[in-house]
Amino acid sequence: MHCLRALRSRAVVNRSKYMVSMRTHVAARLLVLMALVAAFVPMLAPSSWTVEIPATLHRKIELPISASARTSAARKLPFTATHLGLGWRGTDEVGPELRTSRDGTVWSNWSGVTVSEDLSDHEAGIYFAALESGRDAQWAEVRVPPTVDPASVVLTAINTRDGPSRKITVRRQALAATPQPNVISRAQWGADETLRRDQPRFARVRRLVVHHTVTANDDTDPAGTIRAIYAYHVQSRGWDDIGYNFLVDSNGNIYEGRYSRPLAQGELPNGENTNGMGVIGAHAAGYNTGSAGVALLGNFSSVSPRPAAVVSLVNLLAWKADRHGIGPLGAAQGIPNIAGHRDVGSTACPGDLLYAQLPGIRNDVETRIQVTTSLTPPAMPTGTELLPSAFSRDKTPNATGAVSRSATLVELRFDGRGLLADRTFRLTPANGSFSLSDSDFGGISLAEDHYAVRAVAFDAQLRESPAAPVASDYVISLGEAPATGYWIMGSDGGVFSFGSAKFYGSTGGLRLNKPVVGMDATPTSDGYWLVATDGGVFAFGSAGFFGSTGSIRLNRPIVDLVSASTGNGYWMVASDGGIFAFGDSRFFGSTGGITLNQPIVGMAPTPTGGGYWLVASDGGIFAYGDARFFGSTGGIKLSQPIIGMAPTPTGGGYWMVASDGGIFAFGDAGFFGSGPSRGIRTRVVGFAATFTGGGYYLLGEAGSVNAFGDAPFYGSLTFSGIRATARDLALVR
């Protein structure tokens, strides 16, 4: 698969002292020496200091190549290249060949490039090469095979050494109180924070994914290479930040990858927010949410990683796995909890010789956790959530979180700021997780008040962890409230938030293989899924990715996605009624083999999750599992086709809505009005019922929202002056 020969630097490396060439790598040596001083002699180092790092020079160069010659003209680069990359469109992985020159006269041999599986999109035919050493080239030439569109080739030149000097303030880092290995911060490796785009997004960490960067082995300037990867990912690939969460060099130094938040004085980078939710990277398509990606610098297709790198990888994975309650030897949905990139995608990453070591690495991680958890107190509970942000006094909050292996007890402390007594709930963790549910309250609700909420873990010796901040202001209010907000999804997957709905991300502005058609929120409303007509699933916030039909040839397009009641799975339905169940959702039947009068346009699960209804555009209803049939419009001549349905909270009825806003109520579903009765003339594309069963919403194609019954109006695209085509609506639970 890979056709690039591993490029080895001719510089001599003294691994024991981590010395590098004085002439070309002064900045890198300063970084490493500063990191060592900060890590091992904290009492002698100042609280902060300033280092000078060269700015990274980056230029994308279009190379017009004729279809007949298939070779570019020799191109003078704008600066001496320390790294080179290529992007192109093609029909397979066979990419261009590259050769370079320092003077335009003496040229290197032609060399094929290695496709970067982390950056490429095979389905869209978009490919990027892994960064390779520029060998101080000042000239470059590219030739392409017939499988590559010659007009699409773009060369990226990068120089991490000779740019204008930038001053960066580095804070002193403290030794970890828990077995977190030392991590070189973004400031220490010279990250230019002005390159970052958008705000980081976070989710609970449930899996660890190992990669290799397919760059030079035994790198003499790892900090420079990481700066080059950062620039390549952002400025060439168009990502918000570097894709990996952590990187490890051949000497075992660990580097902070994707930005998460500002660091407090003396704090080691951990890639998380203050609640222990992991920042979502861009390292494994479809599996980024809920995972942390660790990349070893180098190419391990035919060379083994250095022992120092493997030891640091084990230490990093052990700390991360224990912190988030991840079983190193376990698996979820058939994928190891500590996975190689090839376990979650069609790729050779992390290289045959590193991948072959993963079983032993998992065992070493397990052993290290067992040893360290017997010696240290539990780590702070992580991924802790209390959702939604406010409850009525007649309902009880639900909390979830992860905890380290040594924890045998978790206390969730509601510290009231009023005159009322505080409440502490004691929870027993299982399999690295804990949760607070209705049964934990013993029938006694929290009093009306404002609360600050913290989580603390204890081990069998009652040693106490640091407190995890859960909510600084958690409100228990009077009365029952229906949905407190909603999301509107546009035709490009753009997501618009109203009321208390939070924005977690979207596909707006991204090039999609197929258009998005539906969305649904997690049961805790801290994330949502978008689904495309090919069954491609996009997960945001805490929504987990459990599979898709994106790589399957479908008989008919996907028309809807609905969440399982647990939030740990979902169903998708195609227009022929074919059902695809993922995660812990179960298959109860389908119309996939039945000749239908009209196509299926939507589905709805029962409140128990033990069944579902399918609805056709003529209003025909198909009930499976514990879903009951209460009636249909299958025998009625409709003015406009049915576009969707929703069940009542009891599961004893349902509503159907037509594209003109006509409402049809069956079973215990109440009628609260309709589009024609309101004089609505826009085409209705979305429908959602409140969780009380006392109202519903109609979503118009232009983004208008009409609320009926007890459904509060929080805004709409048209009300806000936003011009977009709407496709679906999801409520905050």
Of the pLDDT bands very low, low, confident and very high (cuts 50, 70, 90), residue 329 is: very high
DSSP string, 674-699: -HHHHT--SPEEEEEE-TTSSEEEEE
CA distance 150 to 142: 10
Tokens of 618: 């003529």
Q: State residue 387's pLDDT score.
A: 62
For residues 381 and 403, give the distance between their C-alpha atoms in angstroms, rounded to a whole number.
Answer: 5
Q: Are 695 and 707 in contact (CB under 8 A)?
A: yes
Using DSSP, state whether 604 is helix, strand or coil.
Answer: strand
For 670: left if phi > 0, alpha if psi spans -120 to 50, otherwise beta; the answer is: beta
DSSP calls for 21-38:
-TTT-HHHHHHHHHHHHH
Span 334-354, average pLDDT: 93
Q: Torsion-angle region of residue 442: left (phi > 0), alpha (psi -120 to 50) or beta?
A: left
Asked if pLDDT for residue 53 goes beyond 90, the answer is no
Q: How far is CA 59 from CA 77, 165, 235, 712, in A?
A: 9, 18, 9, 51
Distances (CA, A) of 380 to 266, 274, 357, 472: 17, 10, 30, 17
Residue position matching structure tokens 């510290």: 415
159-168, 313-322, 445-454, range with the lowest pLDDT: 445-454
State the pLDDT at residue 271. Answer: 95
Q: Grade residue 308 by pLDDT with cuts at 50, 70 and 90.
A: very high
- Where is 371: in which H helix or E strand? helix 358-373
Pick from 76, 62, 89, 53: which is nearest to 162 by CA?
53
* Cβ atoms of residues 453 and 466 within 8 Å: no
pLDDT of residue 420: 47
pLDDT above 50 for 12: no
Q: What is the pLDDT of residue 322?
A: 93
What confidence category does residue 18 fall into, taking pLDDT thresholds of 50, 70 and 90? very low
Which of 173, 343, 338, 195 is CA-nearest to residue 258? 195
Q: What is the DSSP letter of 620?
A: -
Cβ density class 271-289: b for 16+ within 10 Å, e for less: bbbebbbbbbbbbbbbbbb
52: pLDDT strictly greater than 60 = yes
Query: Cβ neighbours of residue 359 under 8 Å, at least 6 residues apart?
Result: none
Cα→Cα distances 548→150, 188, 405, 551, 584, Å: 33, 39, 32, 8, 14
Give exposure, 383-394, as e/b (b: 16+ Cβ within 10 Å).
Answer: bbbbbbbbbeee
Gap between the Cα atoms of 392 and 194, Å rounded:
43
Whether 201 and 279 have beta carbons less than 8 Å apart is answered as yes
Q: How confident is the model at residue 300, as a pLDDT?
A: 97
**pLDDT confidence of 170, banded at 50, 70, 90?**
low
Which residue, among 525, 276, 545, has the nearest Cα to 401 in the 3D structure? 276
Over residues 186-199, the mean pLDDT reads: 91
Range 420-431 average pLDDT? 82
**What does the mean pLDDT of the chain come to?**
85
Q: Average the pLDDT over 128-155 and give the result.
A: 91
Q: What is the mean pLDDT of residues 142-153?
A: 90
pLDDT confidence tier of residue 496, bands split at 50, 70 and 90: very high
Reply yes or no on whether the pLDDT at 401 is more than 80.
Answer: yes
Residue 156, burial from CB neighbour count under 10 angstroms (0-12, 13-18, 19+): buried
Residue 117 predicted with pLDDT over 70 = yes
CB-based burial label for 42 (10 Å; 0-12, 13-18, 19+):
middle
Task: Give the integer Cα–Cα distance in Å for 479 and 489.
Answer: 30
Query: pTM of the predicted model, to two decimals?
Result: 0.62
Residue 171: pLDDT over 50: yes
The packing angle between helices 26-40 and 222-231, to 10°, is: 110
Q: Hey, CA dihedral for 659, 665, 667, 669, is it positive or negative?
A: positive
pLDDT at 35 over 60: no
Domains of the chain in sequence order: 26-43+173-373 (3.40.80.10), 57-159 (2.60.120), 382-477 (2.60.40.10)
Q: What is the pLDDT of residues 546-562, one digit of tens each?
A: 999 877 889 899 999 99
pLDDT at 39: 35
**Residue 439 confidence class, pLDDT cut points 50, 70, 90:** confident
- Whether the CB-CB separation of 393 and 448 falls below 8 Å is answered with yes
Q: Could you tell me where the beta strands, DSSP code E, fall in 206-271?
A: 207-212, 246-248, 254-256
In whole angstroms, what separates CA 318 from the centre of its chain? 21
Averaged over 581-592, what is the pLDDT?
92
Q: In what order do the strands lie in the sheet with 684-689?
A: 684-689, 695-700, 705-709
Instruction: Give CA–CA dist 560/520, Å, rounded.
Output: 9
Ramachandran class of 463: left when φ > 0, alpha when ψ lies in -120 to 50, beta otherwise: beta
Can you state the percent helix, strand and coil of the chain, rounding each to 5? 10, 35, 55
| Listed residue (560, 601, 606, 556) closest to 586, CA to CA | 606
Give me the amino acid identity at 275.
Answer: N
Out of 157-171, 237-251, 258-272, 321-335, least confident range: 157-171
Q: Hey, what are 694's tokens? A: 């006392």
Are 79 and 162 a contacting pair, CB within 8 Å?
yes
549: DSSP letter: S
Helix (H, G, I), strand (E, B) or coil at 328: coil
Decide if pLDDT at 23 tops 60: no
Distance CA 607, CA 612 (A): 9
Mean pLDDT of the 572-600 span: 92
Q: What is the pLDDT of residues 633-663, one digit of tens each?
A: 877 888 899 999 999 988 999 999 999 999 9
Burial 649-685 (b: 16+ CB within 10 A, else e): eebebbbbbbbbbbbbbbbebeebbbbeeeebebebb
149 or 26: which leads in pLDDT: 149
Length of the chain: 733
Confidence of residue 390 (pLDDT cuts 50, 70, 90): low
Q: Which pLDDT does position 174 carry in this prediction?
A: 37
Q: How does DSSP classify residue 341?
A: G
Predicted pLDDT of residue 151: 87
* pLDDT the model gives residue 19: 33
Q: What is the mean pLDDT of residues 289-312?
A: 95
Q: How many CB atoms lie within 10 A of CB 41?
A: 10
| pLDDT for 287 | 87
CA distance 121 to 714: 38
Q: What is the pLDDT of residue 622?
A: 95
Q: Strands, E, within 246-290: which ranges?
A: 246-248, 254-256, 278-279
What is the percentage of the chain residues whose pLDDT exceeds 70? 88
Q: 417: pLDDT confidence band, cut at 50, 70 and 90?
A: low
Coil vs helix vs strand at 391:
strand
Compute the average pLDDT of residues 499-525. 87
What whole-number distance in Å separates Cα of residue 560 and Cα of residue 489? 13
Of residues 558 and 16, the one with the higher pLDDT is 558
DSSP bridge partners of 541: 527
